[in-house]
Amino acid sequence: MINDQFYRRRYVISGIAIGIVLVYIIRLFYLQVIDQSTKDQADNNALVKQTIYPSRGLIYDRNGELLVFNQPIYEITMTMRDMDKDWDTITFCQCLQITRAEFDERIAEIKDRRKNRGYSRWTPQVFMSQLKKEDIAPLQEFLSMFPGIQIQKRTLRDYTYKAAAHVLGSVGEVSQSDIDRDDYYARGDYSGRDGLERTYEAQLRGEKGVEVLMRDSRGRMQGSYQDGELDRTAKAGTDLYTTLDIRLQLLAEELLSGKIGSAVAIEPKTGEILALASNPGWNPKVLVGKERSKNYDILLKDPTKPLYNRATQATYSPGSTFKTIQALVCLHEKGITPNTVYPCSGPGSSPIKCTHHHGSPVTLENAIEQSCNPYFWCAFRDVLQKDGYGKDNEDFRKRYETWRNDVMSFGLGQKFTDTDLGDQSSGSIPSTRFYDRYYGKTGWKAITIRSLSIGQGEILVTPIQLANQAATIANDGYYITPHLNKNDSMLNHRHQLDIEHEYFDILKAGMHRVMVYGTGRHYAIDSLHMAGKTGTVQNPHGRDHAIFIGFAPVEDPQIAVAVVVENAGFGATWASPVATMMIEQYLTGEVKRKDLRKRIGESVLNASVKKW
């Protein structure tokens, strides 16, 4: 154009266009290159990670009997949007055996956003849950009539027997601290809360799978993302074979019913726990599913403490059963010889009375057989005083420490650390420092701690330790850490004692005599060569605790047992029948003494023990 004085304004206008595009390119650079947050936001919008739950590993007993398995339960979900006009509500209600009113009430609950915050017409909502197969069977038949209805399968734990609740433990919903500790878990997941379920959680749970799905803006699923490239299948949990013999376990629990106590059986050569019963307990089926929290609460509040595993957690003075240890340690420490005899004046003895009437003087074998208190006091004294007391009581205290170490080498007074048992108590064999603090370094002598000689006083052990002690004697001086998984690698956990082999023969002979002539003779069986030792433990809180340890057959021990019945009285009356019947069951496969079984099993010593 001619004489165009505003010619240069074309550059201003072009500049505006270039400037705007430049600003937009900078903005795009910020959004698409610098700002990293939007990638995740887009994924959160569109991708739904659906977890595929693996089936939990099964639990078997040592003979391959199924103890714990998974029961399918079903939940019915409905997607409101897909429910059309032709939906036959009446038939639906009939299939599920609910009334129309119940149906309407449930629908109202689902749609109430105050109660059901995640409600959407587009996504499946849980209509009924925890249904049995027979509950949903009629609906399944007519499922095609009900668009929008889906039946989802989930699993719960189920149990073949009402037994071994403490050992097996239970499965429950994970807590926040579990989620924080292990990022495998998410809210609403289940994990083993106690017992074997907890110990072997990593093995039993398997591995969750994931399926990445796409969801549109209305929450409808639109198939898998990137053709399932990111999906992972679930890996089922590994089955667990336990060392339990379920027949033996059932018998132990039957015999303990109505009483407070525990019974532990171990296969001496392998350390495998054959039975681990604690009463009161519960039926494992009650800590499953809907009922779990209600029942758990009841168990928690029960004054007889059923949740407490007495077999591993309760501590008792071992009483006369400790005399077996005392005999071995005193021989080993040369306080006595196999030929040593001590006089006994029966109830007139001092400083410790004898509760039994027998000849005097007594040999070691007889002392075991007759459970002679004065013998073991004298032996104990002679071990501790062997070198005299020394300057500042030094030599005596050194001897005591040696004695204590020998005792503890049986696994007493300490937890088994290399095992899969759940919660344990350590018990206690009092240390030199303990008495030093109590009496002063020079203030205690053998006479001060004389109760220890017969397993009374400050010494405390758990039933599992007692059973292990019996197994150690049966093995002539070694034990394999007691354990619950049937796995040969545990044979490496062998603990060898320093005590000489020949001393065990003497002790075993004495323990066999207990079953033939002594306190255990009433419940012995001629065909089975049993060895045992009873104990009647004084107890400041009430009647004496009845204790028995034993093993059989003496020549080639297959089973070692410890039984504790609280506040029952004589060990010979209450603990030894339980133990001998367990031995009989294990070795012969049955209990022939039906009347005895019935009498012991049905007698109630503690009326407040609840039966589940």
Q: Which residues bind another protein (CB under 8 A)?
A: 1, 5-6, 9-10, 12-14, 16-18, 20-21, 23-25, 27-29, 31-33, 35, 37-39, 41-43, 45-47, 214-218, 222-223, 225
- State in angstroms the smallest separation of the CB of 41 from another protein: 5
Angle CA(400)–CA(405)–CA(407) in degrees, nearest 5?
A: 95
Distance CA(169)–CA(157), nearest Å, equals: 11
Q: Are strands 59-60 and 66-78 parallel, antiparallel or unpaired?
A: antiparallel
Cβ closest to another protein, residue 8 vs residue 187: 8
Cβ closest to another protein, residue 47 vs residue 250: 47
- State in angstroms the smallest separation of the CB of 85 from another protein: 24
- State in angstroms the smallest separation of the CB of 220 from another protein: 9
- State in angstroms the smallest separation of the CB of 28 from another protein: 5
Cβ closest to another protein, residue 224 vs residue 539: 224
Distance CA(418)–CA(281), nearest Å, equals: 26
Instruction: Say which amino acid occupies 465.
Output: Q
- State in angstroms the smallest separation of the CB of 38 from another protein: 3
Do 151 and 74 contact (CB within 8 A), yes or no? Answer: yes
Helix (H) or strand (E) holding 138: helix 133-141
- State in angstroms the smallest separation of the CB of 3 from another protein: 11
- State in angstroms the smallest separation of the CB of 67 from another protein: 47
Q: How many helices, marked H, and strands, marked E, lie in the chain?
A: 21, 17
Cβ closest to another protein, residue 18 vs residue 491: 18
Exposure b/e, 365-400, CB count within 10 A at least 16 = b: bbbbbbbbbbbbbbbbbbbbbeeebeeebebbbebb
Cβ closest to another protein, residue 47 vs residue 528: 47
Give the contacts of 606 (CB within 8 A, at least 6 positions apart): 258, 259, 260, 304, 566, 567
Q: Are strands 221-224 and 209-215 parallel, antiparallel or unpaired?
A: antiparallel
- State in angstroms the smallest separation of the CB of 313 from another protein: 54
H helices of 307-441, in order, are 310-313, 323-332, 364-370, 373-384, 394-408, 432-439
Cβ closest to another protein, residue 43 vs residue 88: 43
Helix (H, G, I), strand (E, B) or coil at 258: coil
Query: Residue 269 half-sphere exposure, CB side, CA atoms within 13 Å?
Result: 6
Distance CA(155)–CA(53), nearest Å, equals: 9
Give the contacts of 242 (CB within 8 A, at least 6 positions apart): 59, 60, 61, 62, 67, 167, 196, 484, 485, 486
Cβ closest to another protein, residue 43 vs residue 590: 43
Cβ closest to another protein, residue 13 vs residue 607: 13
Distance CA(461)–CA(50), nearest Å, equals: 50
- State in angstroms the smallest separation of the CB of 81 from another protein: 15
Cβ closest to another protein, residue 32 vs residue 492: 32
